[in-house]
Amino acid sequence: MFDSKLSRRTWLSAVPALALGGKLAAQEYQIRGADIKLGIASYSFRKFSRTQAIQMAKELGTPFLNVKDFHLKLDASPEEIDAAKKEFADAGITLVGCGNVSFQKDDEADIRAKFEYAKRAGFPLIVCAPTAETLPKLEKYVKEYNIKIAVHNHGPEDKHFPTPQSVLKAVKGMDPRCGLCMDIGHTSRTGADIVESIREAGPRLLDMHTKDLADPMGKDSQVAVGDGKLPIPRIFEQLIKMKYSGCVNLEYEIHDDAPMPGMIKSFAYMRGVLAGLQVRA
C-alpha cells in the first residue's frame, strides 16, 4: 500500500510530467481490472467559452469531459445541440456526462426536457441535484432513455444529499443506473471517511468529482490536487480494488480566471499516483 503522506515530488518522479509537444499524457489507466479515466468537469472552465474549454481540455491531454451548461445551455435548440456535439467530436472530446443538472423543480415536463437534452447531445450520464421528492421520479426516465443518473452530494449545506451515504440510502432498490457522483471535497467536509464511502458505494459509484483541500473541513481551502490533505493515493487504491470503470473528473473551482496552472499540477500528481500503482500492479 502506498503512503498517502508521500510528497508531490515523489509521485511526480514516477512518470514524466509532460509528453511530446508539451501536452499532458492520455488519462486512462487499466490496473488490475479497473479502468480509471481522468477527466474534467467543465465547471472548471466556467469563465471560458465552449471553444476555449475544448482547447484547454486538449492542452490537459484528456478527451474525457463532463459538460456543465456554461458550455451547452440546457435550453439550447436541437440545432444548437447538434452543432455543439459536432464541435466536441471534431476535437476528439469524449462526452462522459453532463451536469451538475438541477432537478429541484417537481415538474415532469422539466425532467423530460433535461433527459431529451442529454439524449440529443449523447451524454450517457447526468450528474444531478434532485430533491427527495424528485429523485424517485427520475427512475422511469433512466429506464426510458437508458441514461444514468449520478446524484451529487454537496456537503453540509445540502439539505437533500449532503453525504454519499444519504445518496446511497435514497437510491437503494432503484435501477442500477441510478447512483452516486461523489464529490470528495464535499464528502470530506461532512466528516465522512472518503475511502470508506467509496467502498460503501460499490457499483453505485457512477462518477466522481475530485479536488483537494488544505483543510479537510474547509470549504474555501481548495488547492491543486496533491497540495492538500485529502487521501488521493488511498482513494485510487480503493477504486482499483473495486474495479471502478468510471471517470474521476477534476473539478477545479479556484482561480476561475486562470485555472490551467493548478489543473496541470493536479493532473500531473494524479497521473503520477496512478503510474506508481500501475507499476505495482
pLDDT above 80 (res 10): no
pTM of the model: 0.91
Q: What would the mean pLDDT of 76-99 be, rounded to a whole number?
A: 97
pLDDT above 90 (res 20): no
pLDDT above 50 (res 15): no
27: confidence class by pLDDT, cuts 50, 70, 90: confident
1 part of a folded domain: no
- Helix 260-280 with 232-241: angle, nearest 10 deg: 50
**What CATH number does the domain containing 225 carry?**
3.20.20.150
The count of domains in the chain is 1
Q: Return the C-alpha cell found at 159.
A: 439539505
Percent of the chain exceeding pLDDT 70 equals: 90
Q: How many CA atoms lie within 13 A of 268 on its CB side?
A: 21
State residue 9's pLDDT score: 46
Domain that holds residue 90: 8-16+24-280
2 part of a folded domain: no
Choice between 25 and 281, residue whose per-residue pLDDT is larger: 281
96 part of a folded domain: yes
Q: List the Cα angle 83/86/87 in 5-degree steps.
A: 85
Torsion of the alpha carbons at 68, 73, 76 and 79, rounded to the nearest 10: -60
134 part of a folded domain: yes
Q: Mean pLDDT lowest for which of 29-33, 40-44, 261-265?
A: 29-33
1: confidence class by pLDDT, cuts 50, 70, 90: very low
Question: For 104-140, what is each residue's pLDDT tens digit?
Answer: 999 999 999 999 999 999 999 999 999 999 999 999 9
